[in-house]
Every structure is written in C-alpha cells, then in structure tokens.
Amino acid sequence: MGAKIWAHRGASGYVPENTLEAFRRAAEMKADGVELDVQMSKDGELVVIHDETVDRVSDGKGYVKDYMYGELQALDVSGSMPDYGTVRIPTLAQVLEELKPTGMEVNIECKTGIFFYPGLEEKVVKLVQDMGMTERIWCSSFNHESVLRIKKLCPAMKTGFLIGDIIMDVADYAKRYGVQALHPALYHMQDEGLLERCRRNGLAVHVWTVNEREYISKLGNAGIDAVITNFPDIAAEALRRTGSY
Ligand code: G3P
Ligand code: CA
C-alpha cells in the first residue's frame, strides 16, 4: 500500500475550502480521504471552518464562537474564490453524512488550539459513534490535550498529533501518549531520520500541506502514509509516477 491522498479542506485548490462542494469534488477526484477543520458556534454546533473568525472566507466578520449556527448558515463562504458562487458553512454532521457512502477516510482536525471550546471533543466522538464511522476517522489537533481527551472518550478512535514547531524527540513523545500517527508539516521532513523514528515507534506519518509534484513524489518514494494536499488529482498523478499509488 502506497501513500494515501487526503484532500486538504476538501479539494480546496479548486473549490472554496471546507464546503460540502469541496468534499464532493474530493470524492469525484477519488481522493482516499479528506481533512477538515472543526470549530464551534455560540449555540454549540460543530461547524467546519478553518479560522476562529469568519473574516477571511466569508462576507461576515467576527469570531465563529460568537455566532449562532443559524447566523453562520446565512454567510457566503466563497471568499477565497469569489467567482465560484454562494457556498455555506457545513456542520460536521452534514459533511459526515455526505462522505459516509463514499467509504473515504476523514481526518477531523479539532481547532482547539486558540479557543478551548467546552465539550467539543465529546460532541465529535458522539457524532462519529452515532454515525457508525469510527474506523474511518482520524482525529488530530495541534492541541494535544484535545487529542488525548478524544482517545480517552473513545479508545478505538485513531488519533494523531499535529505539529508545527520542531519538537525534541517527537516520535518518542507521540508513542508515549499512545497516538497512532504524527501529522508533521512538509518542512519537518527535512529531518531525514524523522520518518524512520516514527516507523520504529509504530506511528503512521501524514504530512501537510503538500501541493508541489516534486515534494509529493519525494514523500511517496520515502514511504509516508498520507499526503494532505489541496490538489488530489495532481497528487495522484505525481504518486503514480513514483509507483507508490
Ligand atoms: O491538518 C493539517 C493541516 O490542515 C494543519 O494546518 O492550518 O491548514 O489547519 P491548517
Ligand atoms: Ca487543518
């Protein structure tokens, strides 16, 4: 089995990120999975949007946490691609319903690094379990406390530590806390021993966000487990050339 392709925020190189349309496009492109970001509205709805504020991608302003879900629904989030037409912020439930029939994997990134949304982890676990999708989900976060909370609530859930900074002995650290994967950025892979140390510790390696053919091919040759990319079609082509897809 070669590297899997996970569409980052859906096929976000082509369609406004983190929308149902972006996840559908990823499925059409035959990506193996999608990555998405979860924040929480004022009334406790799990919503799929990257930033803590709606400013960058929408016609509104302010923190997601200060909006009721009904108000968020009214926003147009085509901001990154204004010519695309109106698109809405989906709930996590809507995205999982959309993807359930596809059999794709879903990497749920809990965006708890800035606001510690109360009860977010419990809601994610309950939803995934209610939908019977536990085996297909990977939960990750830059907030490792959040990841461990999910593991405790649902030991069967696959989990990964997202890292941005360069951390000492990170593969040992991840193993110690019992997660199944490390989610390093592309730049972490300059450390040529990292993949090997993860392998020795039984960790899968899912690398973000890799959009250039050259790097996708390199990672494919190196034997990583998943490439998280905005361009699933380009990734498939690059990996096929290396024979790792
Ligand atoms: O989950 C990988 C990647 O999405 C983490 O960074 O900022 O794109 O959410 P960001
Ligand atoms: Ca993300």
Q: Which string of DSSP letters, residue by residue, matches 42-110?
A: TT--EEE-SSSBSTTTSS--SBGGGS-HHHHHTS---TTSGGG----PPBHHHHHHHHGGGT-EEEEEE
Could you identify the atom of ligand 1 that is nearest to the CA of residue 228? Answer: 2
Stretch 54-59: mean pLDDT, rounded?
Answer: 97
Q: Is the CB of residue 109 below 6 angstroms from any atom belonging to ligand 1?
A: yes
Active-site residue, 8 included: yes
162 Cα: distance to centroid of ligand 1 (angstroms): 8
Q: What is the pLDDT of residues 212-223, one digit of tens each?
A: 999 999 999 999
- pLDDT above 90 for 188: yes
Stretch 63-67: mean pLDDT, rounded?
Answer: 98
Stretch 125-132: mean pLDDT, rounded?
Answer: 98
| Mean model confidence pLDDT for the chain | 97
- Atom 3 of ligand 1, residue of closest alpha carbon: 208
Confidence of residue 208 (pLDDT cuts 50, 70, 90): very high
Active-site residue, 183 included: no
111 Cα: distance to centroid of ligand 1 (angstroms): 9
- In the prediction, which pLDDT does 243 show? 86
Whole-angstrom distance, CA of residue 25 vs CA of residue 20: 9
- Atom 7 of ligand 1, residue of closest alpha carbon: 50
Stretch 7-28: mean pLDDT, rounded?
Answer: 98
- pLDDT above 80 for 1: no
Confidence of residue 143 (pLDDT cuts 50, 70, 90): very high
